[in-house]
Chain A
Amino acid sequence: MTLSQTLIARAAQVRVSRAARSSKVSGAAMALIAVVLAALPFLVFSTVTDTLVNLFVLIALASMWNLLAGFGGLVSVGQQAYIGIGAYSVIALADQGVQPYLAVPLGALTCALFAVPTSWLAFRLRGDYFAVGTWVIAEVYRLLVVRIDGVGGGSGKGLSGMSGIDQTLRGALTYWIALALALATIGGCYLLLRGRVGLSLMAVRDEETAASSAGIDVTRAKRLVYLISAAGCGAAGGVITISSLSVNPDAIFSVQWSAYMIFIVVIGGIGYIEGPLLGALVFFALQQVLADYGSWYLVLLGAVGVAAALWLPGGLWGLVRDRTGLSLFPVGYHVREGGGDAASR
């Protein structure tokens, strides 16, 4: 028998399941939460939904950084480059008469295009040098943008094309787009990691050298997550812009965004889809509770970050996962039959 004939004969016996039983419950719960969140503009005051826009942006940014660093091993301190490019793309496209809400996905696309040549440069650097290099690249983009008078130079610019929309409707639309962005980044990460490409990304995460011996094109895998992450951060930059209705180069290209992303992923748990979600919730809660304490707020955030890095190497989600074996987004494979251990679950 040839190899493929043998495999076809074997394929009938092997039973592999992709989802744990708990995931059906958690999937239903998450769908319910999404529906409730989508209905929120009809139920609560706009101050609540406006605040939640920030949470959704943080979830999206952290998910993208998690994909980049947790799966590609690319510890970037320069994703603000794409937040900025995404934001300025929305400003520039709106000036050209494009509806600002439609400009958000176009801004994401622009970022993916910018990321291609940027990756040629950044990927020549490794480890610490890559981190510093990405930061420098982000600064270079900022310096280039402030030299373009058409987008307001160093003082920034307001978003055009929004004046015709009723303020309440505008708030709700912005909220829904932010919610869609958060759901799309999480759902996108899940679908990506569930597939064949995802399994190879997890192999790259665990052991790069062995991954290349397994037949994985490691550089291609890294470039893929870099482009996706750039697009996601670009869309987040666009959402920030339609929410604040203006852009300031120093704020949008600030390294603070990277600090937020890293903090959220470190406390939440790197390398798992659930990590940035949980981390963003914790970070958002800390922000809300501690916002009145001035600079102590930053000191406390720093202390929490250091404590998580020292005592929780897997982050909060790693703790939950180890204790309960829970997985909200199961991407693994479970052999049920044909493997000689059909009894063990």
Chain B
Amino acid sequence: MTEPLLRLTGITKSFGKVTVAGDLSLSVRAGEALGIVGPNGAGKSSLFGMISGDLRPDRGTVWFAGREITGAPPHARTRAGIGRTYQVPRPFSHLTVFENVLVCGHQGAGLKGRQAWAHAMDVLERTGLAPLANTPAGRLTLLQRKRLEMARALGTGPRLLLLDEVAGGLTEPEVHELVEVVGRLHAEGLGVVWIEHVVHALVSTVERMICLAGGDVVADGEPMHVLADRKVRELYLGAGPETGSGTSAPEEGA
């Protein structure tokens, strides 16, 4: 078996008495699409923070593409090939949509000149933002901002895409559009790790799912099996998600 693209070993992290990761280990293969579910406070966003470099684990190591990155700052991880989105969009408001993505191509992917322009336009077309290229990012709607989050992450030329609740707060048709975009990217060979409360969006895209609770992995496997797992159903207060029925988990929001 080849070296996984992303590997976390024995990750432990607490804020005071609250443990957000307790000896957590996880591997993601190159090109794999992994969905992460779990109740609020399960440690999903903290896990993302430790992969993207916004948080540093108390113990344990993080490896990416065969190199240890446990102590590396966020920009170095981006340059290494980890692109992330934020749950609450953080656009560069005074820059245009094109410039938002261009700066990611410059700094994250190391592109220059016309190649950087072409890359940025390519990403904008894939994410459906090309008609808005010259619009200041501060004027975008929520759906457009979520797309821009994804466009910027893609702009850095990632090998692994971290999606943090990109479907949250969107209408059903909008979720469907986003799922299609992610599905296409994954089909082209991009690795995806996706935290999502809108479970049906995950089920239609990922081939593997884990459920986090109390800072640990309680279930890991095919999405249908994970959602059918007794422990997972108990976590959702017995009102467990009817697998594949297209409903959201009851733990909506956050």
* Residues on A facing B (Cβ under 8 Å): 3-4, 6-8, 10-11, 13-14, 16, 196, 199-200, 202-203, 205-207, 209-218, 271, 332-335, 338-341, 344
The answer, among A10, A215, A340, for a CB contact under 8 Å with B104, is A215
A215 partner, pick from B75, B118, B131, beta carbons under 8 A = B75
Is B52 a contact of A335 with CB atoms below 8 Å?
A: no
Q: Are B122 and A10 in contact (CB under 8 A)?
A: yes
Q: Which residues of A contact B118 (CB under 8 A)?
A: 7-8, 10-11, 13-14, 338
Contact of B121 among A8, A205, A332, A335 (CB under 8 A): A335
Task: Out of A7, A10, A334, name the residue touching B134 (CB < 8 Å).
Answer: A334
Smallest CB separation, B153 vs chain A (Å): 8
Asked whether A341 lies within 8 Å of B93 as measured between CB atoms, the reply is no
Q: Are A214 and B133 CB-contacts (below 8 A) given A207-B92, A209-B54, A339-B124?
A: no
B125 adjacent to A340 (CB under 8 Å) = yes
B70 at the interface (CB under 8 A from A): no
Interchain CA distance A207-B92 in the complex, whole Å: 6
Nearest-CB distance from A109 to chain B (Å)? Answer: 28
Given A7-B122, A216-B103, A341-B134, are A206 and B79 neighbors across the interface (CB < 8 Å)? no
Q: Is the CB of A205 within 8 A of B94?
A: yes
Other than the given A196-B107, A214-B155, 11 more pairs (CB < 8 A) read A4-B115, A199-B106, A202-B92, A206-B91, A206-B94, A215-B75, A332-B99, A335-B134, A338-B121, A339-B134, A341-B131
Within the complex, the shortest CB–CB distance from A336 to chain B, in Å, comes to: 9
Chain A to chain B contacts (Cβ below 8 Å), 9 pairs: A6-B122, A11-B118, A14-B118, A199-B106, A202-B103, A210-B92, A214-B103, A340-B131, A341-B134
- Produce 1/0 per residue, B80-91, CB < 8 A to A: 000110100011
Q: How far is the CA of A203 from the CA of B133 in the complex (A)?
A: 16
A215 CA to B86 CA in the complex, in Å?
15
Within 8 Å CB of A217, what residues of B?
73, 75, 107
* Contact flag A213-B74 (CB < 8 Å), given A202-B92, A341-B133: yes
Say yes or no: B52 contacts A199, CB within 8 Å: no
Chain B 98-119 interface residues, beta-carbon cutoff 8 Å to A: 98-100, 102-104, 106-109, 111-112, 114-115, 117-119
Give the CA-CA distance A206 to B74 in the complex, in Å: 17
State whether the Cβ of B156 lies closer than 8 Å to any Cβ in chain A: yes
Chain A residues with CB under 8 Å of B117's CB are 11, 14, 16, 333
Q: How far is the CB of A151 from chain B (nearest CB, A)?
A: 41
Q: Tell whether B200 is near chain A: CB-to-CB under 8 Å.
A: no
* Interface check B7, CB cutoff 8 A: no
Q: Which B residues lie within 8 Å of A211 (CB)? A: 92
CB pair A214–B152 under 8 Å, yes or no, is yes
- List of A residues within 8 angstroms of B131 by Cβ: 339-341
B96 at the interface (CB under 8 A from A): yes
Shortest Cβ distance from A150 into chain B, in angstroms? 43
Q: Which of B92, B114, B131 has the most CB of A within 10 A?
A: B92
Find chain B residues with CB under 8 A from A344 CB: 134
Q: How far is the CB of A203 from chain B (nearest CB, A)?
A: 5
- Residues A206 and B95 in contact in the complex (CB < 8 Å), given A6-B122, A341-B134: yes
A216 contact set on B, CB distance < 8 A: 75, 103, 107
Query: Shortest Cβ distance from B131 into chain A, in angstroms?
Result: 5
Given the known A-B contacts A7-B115, A14-B121, A333-B96, are A339 and B90 also in contact in the complex, defined by CB atoms under 8 Å? no
In whole angstroms, how far apart are the Cα atoms of A209 and B118 in the complex?
26
B115 & A214 in contact (Cβ 8 Å cutoff): no
Q: Does B115 contact A200, Cβ atoms closer than 8 Å?
A: no
Chain B residue numbers with a CB within 8 Å of A340 are 125, 130-131, 133
* CB–CB B99/A339 < 8 A: no
Question: Which residues, 133 to 174 on B, are CB-close (under 8 Å) to A?
Answer: 133-134, 152-153, 155-157
Specify the chain A residue showing the minimal Cβ separation from B83. A213
Decide yes or no: A199 and B134 within 8 Å by CB, A207-B92, A212-B75 being known contacts: no
The 4 closest A-B pairs by CB, nearest first: A215-B108, A10-B118, A215-B107, A210-B90
A200→B102 CA distance, assembly (Å) = 10
Query: A43: shortest Cβ distance to chain B, in Å?
Result: 40
> Given A10-B121, A207-B92, A339-B130: A214 and B107 within 8 A (CB)?
yes
Task: State how many angstroms separate the Cβ of B98 from the closest Cβ of chain A.
Answer: 5
Closest to A202 in B: B95
B104 / chain A contacts, CB cutoff of 8 Å: 214-215
A133 to B107, CA, bound (A): 31
Q: Are A200 and B103 in contact (CB under 8 A)?
A: yes
Nearest chain B CB to A334 CB, angstrom units:
6
Inter-chain CA distance A218–B99, complex, in Å, is: 17
Q: In the complex the two chains form, is A215's CB within 8 Å of B156's CB?
A: yes
In this assembly, does B78 line the interface, its C-beta being within 8 Å of a C-beta of chain A? yes
**Residue-wise interface mask of B (177-219) relative to A, using a CB-CB cutoff of 8 A (1 in contact, 0 not):** 0000000000000000000000000000000000000000000
Q: Are B121 and A339 in contact (CB under 8 A)?
A: yes
List A contacts of B122 (CB < 8 A).
6-7, 10
